[in-house]
Amino acid sequence: KAGVTQTPRYLIKTRGQQVTLSCSPISGHRSVSWYQQTPGQGLQFLFEYFSETQRNKGNFPGRFSGRQFSNSRSEMNVSTLELGDSALYLCASTAGSPGLGTQYFGPGTRLLVL
């Protein structure tokens, strides 16, 4: 069974631009969570989607948004990019609810904002 895939793997943007990252969960998994990883703040929860509904969101500004499609694939969008948005963005999928099941992570998308 294929793992979690994320595209693109690397991305360079400039301040003020917007970016969309994509995540395809493990087949059959309906829950997708997103995390931001930076050297200073570590791993921080962004949001979680289950059956196309955002069920919770971490402490991030409204510039960070996401959605989930009927096939469970998910996208996250960051608008008006800031230098501090440079990070590794990780997606994780779970067979059921992430609080109850195990989250399996993709390789991440490394975003560099110049």
Partner 1 sequence: AQSVTQLGSHVSVSEGALVLLRCNYSSSVPPYLFWYVQYPNQGLQLLLKYTSAATLVKGINGFEAEFKKSETSFHLTKPSAHMSDAAEYFCAVSDPSSGGGADGLTFGKGTHLIIQP
Task: Provide the binding-site residues for partner 1, judged by CB under 8 A.
Answer: 4, 6, 33, 35, 42-45, 48, 50, 55-56, 58, 90, 92, 97-100, 102-108, 110
Q: What are phi and psi of 67, to 5 degrees?
A: -160, 165
Q: Could you tell me the smallest distance in angstroms from the CB atom of residue 15 to partner 1?
A: 24
The answer to whether the beta carbons of residues 107 and 2 sit under 8 Å apart is no
Q: Could you tell me the smallest distance in angstroms from the CB atom of residue 59 to partner 1?
A: 11
Q: Select 14 or 27, whichever has its Cβ closest to partner 1.
A: 27
Distance in angstroms (rounded) separating the CA atoms of residues 102 and 63: 28
Structure tokens at 77: 């969008």
